[in-house]
Structure 1
Amino acid sequence: MERVYTIPLRDVKKAPRTIRAAKAMRVIRSFLEKHMKSEDIILDSSINEKVWERGIQKIPSKIKVKAVKDDDDGVVEVTLEE
């Protein structure tokens, strides 16, 4: 199963400035667990680089990702959608 999601990160900007990027990574992971119905999420390093691109305080307001779920073991591999 392959899906493209636009994950909103606007609510993360309500968090304190010094933890925004780390919280955004947790929000991305929890969004994918909820929508792909799997506990095993493997995030590509490109997603981490995109979130941290402008530093810890200035995260993007949304991020577009492509999630591919293996039917055999339920592992979800997530990459940045371009």
Structure 2
Amino acid sequence: MERTYIIPLRKVKSVPRTKRAPRAIRFIREFLKKHMKSEDIILDSSINEKVWERGIQKIPTKIKIKAIKEEDGTVKAELAE
């Protein structure tokens, strides 16, 4: 099963500035757990680079991700752009 999601990261901006990028990564994992119904999430390094592109304080407002669920229930996510 393959799906493309646009994940809004605006809620993450409400945390302190020095914790935004790590919180955004955790938020992406939680989003994928909820929507793909799997506990095993593997994020590609391109997602991490996109979130951290402008530093810890200035995260993107949204991110487009392609998630692929394997036969064993593992979800592999990568940047869709």
Could you tell me which residue of structure 2 aligns to residue 78 of structure 1? 77
Kindly report structure 1 stretches of 4+ aligned residues shifted beyond 6 Å. none
TM-score normalised by structure 1 residue count: 0.98
Give the aligned partner of residue 25 of structure 2.
25
| Residues 1:51 and 2:76 aligned together | no
Deviation readout 1:16-35 (Å, 9 max, x if unpaired): 00000000000000000000
Alignment correspondent of 2:7: 7
For 2:42, the aligned partner's letter is I
Q: Offset of 1:60 from its aligned partner?
A: 0.2
Could you say what secondary structure the match of 2:50 adopts?
A: helix
Deviation at 1:42, TM superposition (A): 0.3
Aligned alpha-carbon RMSD (Å): 0.4
Residue aligning to 1:61: 61
Gaps of at least 5 residues in structure 2 are none
Instruction: Using the TM superposition, give the Cα deviation of residue 9 of structure 1 relative to its aligned residue in structure 2, in angstroms.
Output: 0.2
**Residues in 2 aligned to 1:77 and 1:12: alpha-carbon distance in whole angstroms:** 22
